[in-house]
Amino acid sequence: MANSNPFRWVEIYVQDMARARKFYETVCKFEFQRLESPEAELWAFPMVMNTPGATGALVKMQGMPSGGNSTIAYFGCEDCAVEASRVVPAGGKIHRDKFSIGQYGFIALALDTEGNMFGLHSTK
Residues of the chain with pLDDT under 50: 1
Q: Which residue, among 100, 97, 117, 113, has the nearest Cα to 20 in the 3D structure?
A: 113
Specify if 4 maps to a domain: no
> What CATH number did the domain enclosing 67 receive?
3.10.180.10
Distance, CA of 11 to chain centre: 9
What was the pLDDT predicted at 69?
72
pTM of the prediction? 0.83
Tally of structural domains, the chain: 1
Length of the chain: 124
3-state secondary structure the chain: CCCCCCCCEEEEECCCHHHHHHHHHHHHCCCCEEECCCCCEEEECCCCCCCCCCEEEEEECCCCCCCCCCCCEEEECCCHHHHHHHHCCCCCEEEEEEEECHHHCEEEEEECCCCCEEEEEECC
Specify if 1 maps to a domain: no
What was the pLDDT predicted at 55?
86
What was the pLDDT predicted at 44?
92
Domain range for 79: 9-122
What was the pLDDT predicted at 49?
80
Specify if 2 maps to a domain: no
Q: Which residue, among 74, 68, 90, has the nearest Cα to 13 in the 3D structure?
A: 68
Specify if 92 maps to a domain: yes
What was the pLDDT predicted at 1?
44
In angstroms, the Cα distances linking 22 to 43, 58, 86, 87, 114 are 12, 11, 12, 11, 12
What was the pLDDT predicted at 4?
63
